[in-house]
Chains A and B, each alone.
Chain A
């Protein structure tokens, strides 16, 4: 079933641990040590190891795509990484919560999904928006 303007989802919760960041580093090719070394992360002024922004964006995209119908795809997706997601060195990690609301656009074949993405009640992504098209590319 297709998502229409006015619909909403969430919160969808995703747990992030250090192990996830290591796997994501390997899969994405982003080996920035701020995502796996507390020593380097603190040396550049961060509280500790932080999740890749692209990992949190990827989880937000997962939340959207799992909500969409088979005849809908993301045509545009934008976020600001407004607050770092600090991931402690323990088995519990942190939880990322994603909620979204679909809005109409001037183009009747497109809707916009405004996302709220938080961790520990702090908004970590700003201006997080996906534009979804009904036109599925072959």
Chain B
């Protein structure tokens, strides 16, 4: 099933609060061989949880293996640090169909539980429409 175009404009409930540990940042950085002091893409950990909630939503219901990441952008207010307790609030900016693929543009505002902005993660997901049944 293609994703319903009326999904555009919808903002989802914030993700469950995620407490950032130094160990998690270090683990993430180590996979990239990067310094744990500078991992600008770490926000994806929280944004991915929001995207997972989107995919599992009963009105959406798409399978992760039918999704390819088309583009990604981070607008960073400040680096994520150990001790931060973060939530992501995802909005679907647009949905369009192109050659059997749903192009879903999302924006996840990542803030502390106090509401202070940390970063915004923009992700476009390309979903193979009609593939969820048998893949």
Taking Cβ atoms with an 8 Å cutoff, the residues of A that contact B are 14, 20, 23-24, 26-34, 40, 43-45, 52-55, 57-59, 61-62, 65-66, 68, 73-81, 84, 127, 137-138
A-B contact pairs, 13 of them (CB 8 A): A24-B32, A27-B24, A27-B27, A30-B44, A44-B66, A54-B41, A59-B32, A61-B32, A62-B34, A76-B75, A77-B41, A78-B71, A78-B72
> A60 — nearest CB in chain B belongs to which residue?
B41
> A37 — nearest CB in chain B belongs to which residue?
B65
Q: Are A80 and B71 in contact (CB under 8 A)?
A: yes
Taking Cβ atoms with an 8 Å cutoff, the residues of B that contact A are 24, 27-28, 30-35, 38-41, 44-45, 48-49, 52, 64-79, 122, 128, 131, 135
Contacts of A74 in B (CB 8 A): 38, 40, 74, 76
Q: Are B76 and A77 in contact (CB under 8 A)?
A: yes
Query: Nearest 3 pairs between A and B by C-beta?
Result: A78-B73, A65-B38, A137-B78
Q: Which of A32, A58, A78 has the most CB of B within 10 A?
A: A58
Contacts of A28 in B (CB 8 A): 28, 31, 44-45, 48
The secondary structure that dominates the B interface is: mixed
> B122 — nearest CB in chain A belongs to which residue?
A78
Within the complex, what minimum Cβ distance (angstroms) separates A82 from chain B? 9
Contacts of A62 in B (CB 8 A): 32-34
Within the complex, what minimum Cβ distance (angstroms) separates A25 from chain B? 9
Within the complex, what minimum Cβ distance (angstroms) separates A72 from chain B? 10
> A31 — nearest CB in chain B belongs to which residue?
B64
Q: How far is the CA of A84 from the CA of B69 in the complex (A)?
A: 10
Within the complex, what minimum Cβ distance (angstroms) separates B27 from chain A? 5
Contacts of B71 in A (CB 8 A): 78-81, 127
Q: Are B135 and A54 in contact (CB under 8 A)?
A: no
Q: Are A58 and B32 in contact (CB under 8 A)?
A: yes
Q: Are B33 and A79 in contact (CB under 8 A)?
A: no
